[in-house]
Structure 1
Amino acid sequence: MKTITATTAAAMITAPGSGQGKSMVTAALARLHRNAGLKVRVFKHGPDYLDPMVLEVASGQPVYQLHPWMTGEHECRWRLAEAAQDADLILVEGSMGLFDGDPSSADLAKLMGIPALPVIDARGMAQTFGAVALGLASFDPDMPIYQVIANRIGSARHGEMLRDSLPPGIGLLGAIPRNEAMNIPDRHLGLVQAGELGDLDTRLDQAAAVLAEAGMEILPKAVTLSADAPEPPPPLLSGVRIAIARDAAFSFIYRANVDLLGGMGAELLFFSPLTDKALPEADALWLPGGYPELHGATLAANTPMLEAIKAHHQAGKPMLAECGGLMACAEELAERDGNIHALLGLVPGRASMADRLQALGLQSLNTQEGRLRGHTYHHSRLETSWQPIARTRKIAGTEAEPVFCHNGLVASYFHGYFPSAPALVATIFRGQPFHPLTEKEPSHA
């Protein structure tokens, strides 16, 4: 087995909590160093689809998820070590606050040997800034913090006060002024998708210029990353043609999921349920999550596509529908404003948008074929007469999600991370039955 060892500058961009501005700071840092001619690789801690879209545009490189539970510790080490072979800088964007969650961003940083670089929103703050930085740095002695970033400062003098407040051993990488360039629109599931922002490149260049003016061109400390290369996936999908929905309505797709399908031998064909009139000729179909609720009228009006997907299902061909894909499979989709759209009708009942988050948290689908790890996160609810054949197991957060199966269709609000259970994923896309485990039965993964 080949071992990869490489050294490069790296940091975990984190914060005391959500809303501090770390996503845009990470993107702006990536663009700043990319514009300086460096190769920058960015990763995202935890299950997230939207931030990576922006980070890919910012860095010009693919972005993968890192999460000790969902992706596994070995995969975290391998992806970072592989990237370090030719990257001048590695940035990992944390999730929530530095110590929030289990495993937290701090847990990942410690496992990988990467220092944390907290972004602290300094609005309305002076000397207390130093207390916050000291608290983050001293909370866990195994979590090194050498520098912090002050965000949304009001003036140069404000930045000087923040710098002076820091305790010995902690420096200020930069003080970022309040600037519209550091903002990206968001909606109920997070940031607006990168593809919906026609001026995203301009915004990122402007944000990078703001960081340059704040003197943030200095690279973080270099770290050495090492990992054994993984074994290639088994060719369990050799010869299988899989059509994958990918457009503004269906875009929540982990790169690692697509990599695995291809690595197992599948031929991947992408199509748009919004604009295409026919499906590619395929053996199996994947409707991933996304924002079907924003495109209900367009989806409902594309009758040729609806009929093509129905025909695929009626023929008993395999089909996986995740979250937004499940919503599209319902008979009706009800928007918040009361508009109702007739959609695929493969699942009896109605998917309705709610005023608040309906589910959130890490979950797994445990079967004899493997343990598929992932998460749930949605603002809609499904009312259906169907009974699930299985339920995911809640690791953290809200209640477990039902999993529905019928005539080759596997549908759930659950988002799976495919590399965690290749055999189960292959079983689903080959249309073969899988066997859910009871609470007391062990899984193979």
Structure 2
Amino acid sequence: MKVVLAGTGSAVGKTTISTGIMKALSKKDSVQPFKVGPDYIDPTYHTMATGNTSINLDSFFMNEDQIRTSFNNSLKKSNSKIGIIEGVRGLYEGISPISDVGNTASIAKALDAPIILIMDARSLVKSAAAIVLGFKTLDPELKIQGVILNKVKGKKHYLKTKESIEKLTDTKVLGAIPRDDEIATKERHLGLVPALENEQIAINIERWGQITEENIDLDALKVIMKESPKVKSSGELWKIANKTPVKIGVAKDEIFTFYYHQNLQALEDNNAKIIQFSPYKDEKIPDVDALYIGGGYPEVFKKELEQNQSMRNSIKQFYNNDNPIYGECGGLIYLSKTIDHMKMCDVINYDAIMTPKVQGLSYVIAEVTKDNLIANKGEIIKGHEFHYTKLLNGENANFSLNITRGTGISNFKDGIISKNTLANYLHVHACAHKTFAYNFTRNIAEEN
């Protein structure tokens, strides 16, 4: 059983409605959530709603068999028969105005999954039918089998819009969510506030589940999901070859939450034991062979990070002892000297600042110009970047990546090497860089 919940555009309520459906169905069944695209935040809502870790599916990072294999493996791991996939932006939005690479439609095709369109119905009645008809006729290969309306004014508005869509497009309307500003999600510069950061979000998710049960025909949704064919797969997600056990400390707390779950899975598949620690709350790093500091919001919590001097000192000492450290985006900023004049770890000898506008927002393709912790010279890495911070005076850093698509740190270069540390704005995805986990764990093992 599977379904793709796709928007007619951004900001139509996909995350609220998708999370509400996941929560409602999880009351009786194990639900495995998925998120299309390079998104770390929406999956935290899914995970909180279902109790199962949400997995990213992305056709820029993954070929079709990787998409299918990741889908099947995730269902098996969570012992779920229901897979719910929240789309990204509008159904057809990707990296090209013509092709499907990176869009929600490509995931639906790879999984042969039915699609439910989520539409903001404010001020729409017959025009809603025109929108649905346009989405269905643009690509007849897609199985758009239902519509959920959001922000309807009342019962009369809902019934008129429902009649229009069902009679003019032959597409079932599964229900409608009434207008209510209080159920909207909070946002900041990188998107929604992560679920782990705010206890109120857990309360909100409970309410979204209840509203979903009251306003959406979940039985009809289950019928659509049951009719979808099983997904067949047989492929390798990433290289598995390291045989030497290693221990990797992963910074994970309210501040550092941006990790592709597949990256951690790939490391574990390569004999890594993941030990989580908090740069915010813990006094020092755990007893590990290497550190992996992912993305997050160090710029928002810079005061708290500066105040934890013992943690910063332990990371600097780990660095001074030539131990491997890998930092991505927020991890890069935390490893820098300062952020907005507040002291960080001083591992990367540059200062960082927060800016009022986005500095990098793109899928990224990088050519590896120097051997480093996660890649060998000549390899090509795919990933993404999204940041409002920038590193100052980093033009002459010891870079190891040439950015052929994207921005990087400076002059289309990324991947600063300092002793046994690698830090970049690029977020790597294990399916797009199949040797990421093998290279990282192998390099750690060789250091020991």
User: How high is the TM-score relative to the length of structure 1?
Assistant: 0.88
> What SS does structure 2 have at the residue aligned with 1:199?
helix
- 2:393 is matched with which residue? 384
Q: Where do residues 23-422 of structure 1 align in structure 2 (5 Å cutoff)?
A: 23-35=15-27, 37-83=28-74, 86-102=79-95, 103=101, 104-166=103-165, 167-180=168-181, 182-218=183-219, 219=222, 220-222=224-226, 223-224=228-229, 225-228=231-234, 230=236, 233-236=239-242, 238-334=244-340, 340-367=341-368, 368=376, 370-385=379-394, 386-395=396-405, 400-422=412-434
Which stretch shifts more, 105-114 or 412-421? 412-421
Q: Is the 8 A contact 2:354 2:389 kept in 1?
A: yes
Structure 2 counterpart SS, 1:307: helix
SS at match of 1:420: coil
CA distance in 2, matches of 1:132, 1:327: 43
The one-letter code matched in structure 1 to 2:345 is L
Task: Give aligned pairs, total.
Answer: 418
Residue equivalent to 2:373: none
> Which sections of structure 2, spanning at least 5 residues, go unmatched?
96-100, 369-375
Q: Which amino acid aligns with 2:269?
A: G
After superposition, give the CA deviation of every residue in 1:100-158 in whole Å (9 maximum; x if it has no partner).
Answer: 11411111211211122111001122211111111111111111212111101010001
| Range with bigger deviation, 400-409 or 309-318 | 400-409
- CA offsets, 1:70-98, max 9 Å, x none? 13322210122345565342211111111
Distance 2:160 2:398 in 1: 58
Structure 1 residue 350: Cα displacement? 1.6
Q: Which amino acid aligns with 1:411?
A: A
Aligned to 1:441: none
Q: Distance in 1 between matches of 2:36 and 2:65?
A: 14
Question: Please, what TM-score do these two structures have when normalized by structure 2?
Answer: 0.88
* Gaps in structure 1 of 5+ consecutive residues: 1-7, 335-339, 433-445
What SS does structure 2 have at the residue aligned with 1:350?
Answer: strand
Q: Please, which moves more after superposition, 158-167 or 216-225?
A: 216-225
- The residue that corresponds to 2:371 in the other structure is none
Per the TM alignment, residue 420 of structure 1 is displaced from its structure 2 partner at its CA by: 3.4
Instruction: Read off the aligned partner of 2:86 and give its amino acid letter.
Output: E
Q: Is the partner of 2:5 in helix, strand or coil?
A: strand
Shift of 1:431: 4.5
Cα displacement string for residues 2-55 of structure 1 (whole angstroms, at most 9, x for unaligned residues) = xxxxxx2x21111121111101110001011112x0221110111110000000
Shift of 1:389: 2.5
Q: Quick one: distance in 1 between partners of 2:381 and 2:331? A: 18
Does the residue aligned with 1:95 lie in a helix, a strand or coil? strand
In the TM superposition, residue 181 of structure 1 has moved relative to its aligned partner by 5.7
Q: Which moved more, 1:247-256 or 1:155-164?
A: 247-256
Distance, in Å, in 2 between the alignment partners of 1:140 and 1:413 is 36
Structure 1 residues 392 and 46, CA, compared in 2 at 3 Å: closer, same or farther? farther
- Maintained 8 Å contact 2:70/2:237: no
Give the letter for the 1:143 counterpart: L
TM-fit CA distance, 1:422? 4.5
Cα distance change of structure 1 residues 401 and 27 upon mapping to structure 2, 3 Å threshold: farther
**Aligned residue identity for 2:148:** I
CA distance in 1, matches of 2:294, 2:60: 22
Aligned-residue offset at 1:231: 7.7
Identity of aligned residues (%): 24
Conserved? CA contact 2:48–2:202, under 8 Å = yes
Secondary structure of the residue that 1:145 maps to in structure 2? strand
Question: In the aligned structure 2, how far is the partner of 1:424 from the partner of 1:83?
Answer: 20
Using the TM superposition, name which of 367-376 and 104-113 deviates more.
Answer: 367-376
Cα RMSD between the aligned structures? 2.1
Summarize the Cα distance change of 1:181–1:230 in structure 2 as closer, same or farther, 3 Å threshold. farther
